[in-house]
């Protein structure tokens, strides 16, 4: 589907119009058969039995015997159709959210807690499976039944029908009152479900921190508070829901009493037959059953509306990342910042009017105090964020004119916090380059100083590393992340604190290997350990989002400015 063309349920269901039409057709047949049975009973009692018409009697009995089978069969086919339609809509909404997330910048999706987004993706089932399959379609069927039964009852005895229908507006008003009282509670329940989902994800991720600071009791108190509050809201909403059901049940019992009382009087006066009364006594519970189902469908729809709103809240976010057609062009690696400014919403990582040029094949070290904008530079080159002012050029061409696929196929980023899937080591390596050969994988792992470690594992490359690589140490994850990037064979290599979790010996071995890899590539390394970038062609020194120094290690040491002070602080004699 071309970007799904529309995110409305109506548009998505239109794509399944053949199944929708078949579902409506089977629904119509089902309604007709259900309306036929009480009428057959009427003819049986009023004509076939009193007049002893055996042929008519046997024919009517056969119809009554076949009706349940036909109704059940048609209902099963209809349910299968609607289940497929509902599942299709669910799948398409989930696809829409997944695709939308890939088009949002980190600034936008970091506003949501990870559990919240996961809960919204899960809630797509509320639209397709619950709202369409179990609510909308059955409500259409019951509405048709309601209209059909009312029409037949009017035809049979319009006076009795008016008496019965007189109760419906009263019942509707009463149920609407209680529904309106329940709605705010429902909204609060859904909001709390979102909060719980986000908290649960955060709690599981932070269990080690809870234990480290002995804060289990504090978390228990918070959980108890939330559980008690949630239970009270659920009980309050259930009270209004149950009261609404009681009103409808009371109306059913009262109406059935009216049917028999008024019908008996009408029979004695000769204005109504016994068969008609029997038919009325069957039609009336069917009518009220359909009415109750319509009311339930309305309640379910009201319950689902806030969840639908949460899904559309994501879908209606503007696309911040537009994927252009790929050109498959090879870059040389010249990078130019022209008066670039950027800051996050909270002011972190601010960059102000930054300008510089990096030549192809240069090794650039980036250093500076925490919060000076070092990592932000790399994020801007990767186009995770867009400059708020100024422009970035790659090989003389505005970086925004490259397709994301082209740009990121030639830029490798080693993050400080390496994300790894809960899969095997081999899966994570091939995730970076699915076409990598076994020889290439082993070579990159050797350069990243992790091959020996992998080969010593019982399952080797097939070892499952747990969620976010929890079974690996920080240094092992970092080296695996470096191997991933090397497999991509990028022309530009960005490294954000690539050796922060490594011991001095491993870092020295890795640096010797990387020197060969760096040849001919443009390399930017953000480092807190200044020894990591000591051999860089140039070192950029950042402070408060500004580039205040630039030069080789020797030149910067002669300046005796910020770099000089940072270096001496790290390596001063104890």
Helix count (H) and strand count (E) of the chain?
21, 10
pLDDT in tens, 521-563: 899 999 888 888 888 899 999 998 899 999 999 999 998 888 8
What value does the mean pLDDT of the chain take? 80
Residue 460 lies in a domain: yes
pLDDT band at 2 (very low <50, low <70, confident <90, very high): very low
**Share above pLDDT 90 across residues of the chain, in percent, rounded to a whole number:** 13
What the block records as the tokens of 419 is 């994300």
Question: By C-alpha distance, which of 482, 488, 523 is closest to 335?
Answer: 523
Please check whether residue 1 lies inside any domain of the structure.
no
Q: Classify residue 320: in a domain, yes or no.
A: no
Answer yes or no: do 244 and 345 share one domain.
Answer: no
Domain with residue 137: its CATH number is: 1.20.1560.10
Same domain for 153 and 125: yes
pLDDT of residue 54: 82
Query: Structural domain of residue 184, as residue ranges?
Result: 7-315
Residue with tokens 């970092």: 478
Q: How far apart are CA 358 and CA 335, in angstroms?
A: 5
- Structural domain contains residue 323: no
**pLDDT, mean of residues 111-130:** 72
d(CA 90, CA 84): 10
Nearest to 25 by CA among 72, 81, 69: 81
Quick check: is 399 in a domain?
Answer: yes
| Domain co-membership, 199 together with 290 | yes
What is residue 549's predicted lDDT score, i.e. its pLDDT? 92
Domain boundary among 315, 349, 371: 315
Residue 519 has φ and ψ, to the nearest 5°, of -55, 125
Instruction: Lowest mean pLDDT of 39-53, 131-145, 310-324, 335-349, name the range.
Output: 310-324
Q: Is the pLDDT of residue 509 over 80?
A: no
Judgement on whether residues 505 and 436 belong to the same structural domain of the protein: yes
- Claim to verify: residue 369 and residue 277 sit in the same structural domain: no
Confidence band for 498, pLDDT divided at 50, 70 and 90? confident
Rounded-to-integer distance, Cα 478 and Cα 489, Å: 18
Q: Is residue 543 part of a domain?
A: yes
CATH of the domain at 394: 3.40.50.300
Whether pTM > 0.85 for this model: the answer is no
Q: Residue 551 has what pLDDT?
A: 92
Same domain (yes/no): 512, 550: yes
Average pLDDT of the residues in 250-271: 81
Measured CA to CA in angstroms, residue 340 lies from 348, 406, 467, 538 at distances of 16, 22, 37, 20
Q: Does 155 lie in the same domain as 211?
A: yes
Cβ-in-10-Å burial (0-12, 13-18, 19+) of 470 comes to exposed
Q: Which of 416, 157, 149, 403 is nearest to 287 (CA)?
A: 149
Look at the chain and report how many structural domains it folds into. 2
Q: What is the pLDDT of residues 462-483, one digit of tens each?
A: 999 887 777 888 778 888 988 9
Between the ranges 31-45, 94-108, 352-366, where is the mean pLDDT highest?
352-366
389/257 same-domain check:
no
**Structure token pair of residue 502:** 């490594």
pLDDT over threshold 60, residue 3: no
Percent of the chain residues topping a pLDDT of 70 = 84
Query: Is residue 322 included in any domain, yes or no?
Result: no
Do residues 443 and 501 share a domain? Answer: yes
User: 73: Cβ–Cβ under 8 A, 6 or more apart, which residues?
Assistant: none
Q: Which span out of 56-60, 245-249, 523-527, 570-574 was modeled with the highest average pLDDT?
A: 523-527
DSSP letter (8 states) at residue 572: -
Picking from 257, 282, 315, the residue at the C-terminal end of a domain is 315
Phi, psi of 333 (to 5 degrees): 110, 20
Task: Tell me which of 147-151, 288-292, 323-327 is least confident.
Answer: 323-327
Residue at which a domain ends, from 252, 285, 315: 315
Q: Residues 506-531, buried b or exposed e (16+ Cβ, 10 A)?
A: bbeebbeebeebbeebbbbbbbbebb
What whole-number distance in Å separates Cα of residue 103 and Cα of residue 379?
Answer: 16
User: What pLDDT score does 222 carry?
Assistant: 80
At 339 the pLDDT is 93
> Residue 425: how many CB atoms within 10 A of its CB?
26
DSSP readout, 519-539? TTSEEEEE-SSGGGGTT-SEE
The residue that leads in pLDDT, 515 or 410, is 410
Average pLDDT over residues 180-188: 71
Same domain, 146 and 220: yes
| Residue scoring higher pLDDT (196 or 358) | 358
Same domain, 259 and 380: no
Q: Which of the 8 DSSP states describes residue 424?
A: B
The reply to whether 393 and 307 lie within a common domain is no
Q: Does 355 reside within a domain?
A: yes
**380, 392 Cβ separation under 8 angstroms:** yes
Q: Please state the rounded mean pLDDT for residues 206-232.
A: 77
The answer to whether residues 315 and 10 touch, using CB atoms and an 8 Å cutoff, is no
């Amino acid at each position: 589907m071309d970007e799904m063309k529309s995110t409305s349920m109506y548009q998505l269901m239109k794509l399944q119009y053949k199944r929708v039409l078949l579902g409506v057709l089977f629904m119509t047949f089902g309604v007709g058969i259900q309306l036929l049975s009480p009428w057959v009973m009427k003819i049986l009692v009023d004509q076939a039995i009193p007049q002893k018409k055996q042929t008519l009697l046997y024919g009517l009995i056969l119809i009554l015997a076949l009706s349940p089978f036909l109704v059940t069969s048609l209902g099963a086919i209809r349910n299968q159709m609607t289940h497929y339609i509902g599942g299709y809509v669910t799948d398409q909404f989930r696809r829409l959210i997944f695709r939308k997330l890939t088009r949002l910048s980190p600034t936008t999706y970091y506003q949501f807690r990870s559990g919240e987004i996961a809960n919204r993706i899960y809630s797509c089932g509320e639209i397709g499976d619950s709202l369409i399959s179990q609510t909308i379609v059955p409500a259409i069927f019951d509405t048709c039944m309601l209209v059909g039964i009312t029409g037949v009852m009017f035809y049979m005895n319009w006076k009795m029908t008016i008496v019965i229908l007189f109760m419906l507006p009263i019942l509707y008003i009463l149920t609407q009152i209680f529904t309106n009282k329940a709605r705010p509670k429902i909204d609060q329940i859904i909001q709390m479900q979102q909060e719980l989902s986000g908290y649960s994800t955060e709690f599981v991720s932070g269990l080690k921190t809870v234990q480290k600071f002995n804060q289990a009791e504090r978390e228990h108190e918070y959980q108890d508070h939330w559980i008690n509050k949630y239970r009270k809201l659920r009980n309050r909403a259930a009270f209004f829901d149950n009261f609404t059901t009681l009103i409808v049940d009371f109306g059913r019992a009262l109406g059935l009493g009216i049917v028999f009382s008024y019908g008996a009087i009408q029979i004695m006066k000769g204005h109504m037959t016994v068969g008609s009364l029997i038919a009325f006594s069957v039609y009336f519970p069917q009518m009220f059953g359909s009415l109750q189902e319509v009311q339930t469908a309305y309640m379910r729809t009201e319950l689902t509306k806030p969840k639908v709103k949460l899904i559309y809240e994501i879908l209606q976010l503007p696309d911040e990342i537009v994927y252009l057609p790929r050109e498959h062009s090879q870059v040389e690696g010249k990078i130019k910042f022209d008066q670039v400014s950027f800051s996050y919403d909270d002011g972190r990582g601010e960059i102000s009017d930054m300008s510089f040029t990096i030549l192809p094949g240069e090794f650039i070290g980036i250093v500076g105090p925490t919060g000076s904008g070092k990592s932000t530079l790399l994020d801007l080159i990767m186009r995770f964020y867009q400059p708020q002012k100024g422009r970035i050029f790659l090989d003389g061409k505005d970086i925004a004119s490259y397709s994301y696929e082209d740009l990121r196929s030639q830029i490798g980023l080693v993050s400080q916090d390496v994300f790894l899937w809960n899969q095997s080591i081999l899966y994570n390596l091939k995730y970076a380059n699915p076409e990598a050969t076994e020889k290439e994988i082993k070579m990159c792992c050797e350069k990243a100083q992790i091959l020996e470690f992998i080969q010593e594992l019982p399952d080797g490359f097939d070892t499952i590393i747990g969620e976010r690589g929890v079974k690996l140490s920080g240094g092992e994850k970092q080296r695996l992340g470096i191997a991933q990037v090397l497999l991509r064979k990028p022309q530009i290599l960005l490294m954000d604190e690539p050796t922060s979790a490594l011991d001095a010996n491993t870092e020295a071995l890795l640096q010797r290997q990387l020197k060969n890899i760096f040849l001919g590539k443009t390399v930017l390394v953000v480092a807190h350990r200044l020894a990591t970038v000591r051999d860089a062609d140039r070192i950029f020194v950042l402070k408060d989002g500004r580039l205040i120094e630039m030069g080789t290690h020797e030149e910067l040491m002669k300046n005796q400015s910020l770099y000089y002070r940072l270096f001496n602080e790290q390596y001063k004699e104890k």
